[in-house]
Amino acid sequence: MLIQQFPQKNFPDFIPNEADQLTEISAINLLKNIKRQPILTPLTNQEILTSFVQQGEGETPILLLHGFDSSVIEFRKLLPLLAQKNQVWGVDLLGFGFTDRLENVEINASSIKTHLYSFWQKYMNKPIILIGTSMGGATAIDFTLTYPELVKKLVLIDSAGLANPPIMGKLMFPPFDYLATQFLASRKVRKAIINRAYYNKKLVDINAEICGSIHLQMPNWNKSLISFTKGGGYGNFAKDLPKIEQETLIIWGESDKIVGTKSATKFKKLIKNSRLIWLKDCGHFPQIEKAEELNNAIINYF
């Protein structure tokens, strides 16, 4: 009888202990390789400990941006594939993942972009291929519109960015703001969200639950989420999308029940130099459910 061997975990000391329950090798390997380094930004005199993963070598850096209330762990299957022939980075955006949440820094679209620019400046400092999933797609769009000279190509995966800010953000005042985050932190609620996000329900296991919620244990998680929500999150970029000159690849799961599928064709129509690829039998997480197919689509696009 063969006994499956798991790699030694030895996670960085800032990773919560819940990670010890993981059995998925791709998740274990990614968590072992997360670094957290200080980034100086214009947002505060205090350096921000920023978590990221870097693998592979190549001339043009690829930068991966995760979705809402998530972390770089969502790229645990895609990142190693892309890194076989490319220099790939995955970063935890300001206010999310394992990046430090400072009390004196508001979390909004502007501060996220400022922090991301400072990260790019320190580690890449050359034009990149920018890939964003879900909310990370909206971040990628915002960054591309502000710094077009820094982005060679753009990839949007089940992207946000075509919806108006939710009204609930204006209603997030004490004690309802705290209660809202407590609701979102509920294990039952998070499992329901994950279950809805995946097309293949067999993937909704303890590993998926841990990977989707472990960052909630980081200090000030709830305060950052409240700050981001009160700030309105990301708005509707429809009027600005025609300004994007970069070649843009739009990839969408045909069974996405989180952001739906209508935005895919809208992005294709509004971004003039774009191509749309649909992934069958796939929900909101192509980077997990269809990592190899997604990797091939991206590589062929390059």
Place 264 in a pLDDT band, splitting at 50, 70 and 90: very high
pLDDT at 1: 40
pLDDT of residue 2 exceeding 50: no
* Percent of the chain at pLDDT exceeding 70: 92
Q: What integer best gives the mean pLDDT of the chain?
A: 92
pLDDT at 187: 82
Place 3 in a pLDDT band, splitting at 50, 70 and 90: very low
The pTM for the full model equals 0.93
Phi then psi for residue 50, to 5 deg, are -115, 125
> pLDDT per residue over 190-200, tens digit each?
889 899 999 99
pLDDT of residue 170 exceeding 80: no
> pLDDT per residue over 91-126, tens digit each?
999 999 999 999 999 999 999 999 999 999 999 999
Query: Cα separation of 212 and 72, whole Å?
Result: 10
Q: Which CATH class name applies to 26-301?
A: alpha beta
To the nearest 10°, report the CA torsion of 183, 252, 99, 221: -10
pLDDT at 142: 98
pLDDT at 78: 98
Top pLDDT among 83 and 10 is at 83
CB 250 within 8 A of CB 158: no
pLDDT of residue 75 exceeding 50: yes
Would you give the end-to-end CA distance of the chain in angstroms? Answer: 44
Inter-helix orientation angle 25-32/206-213, to 10°:
30
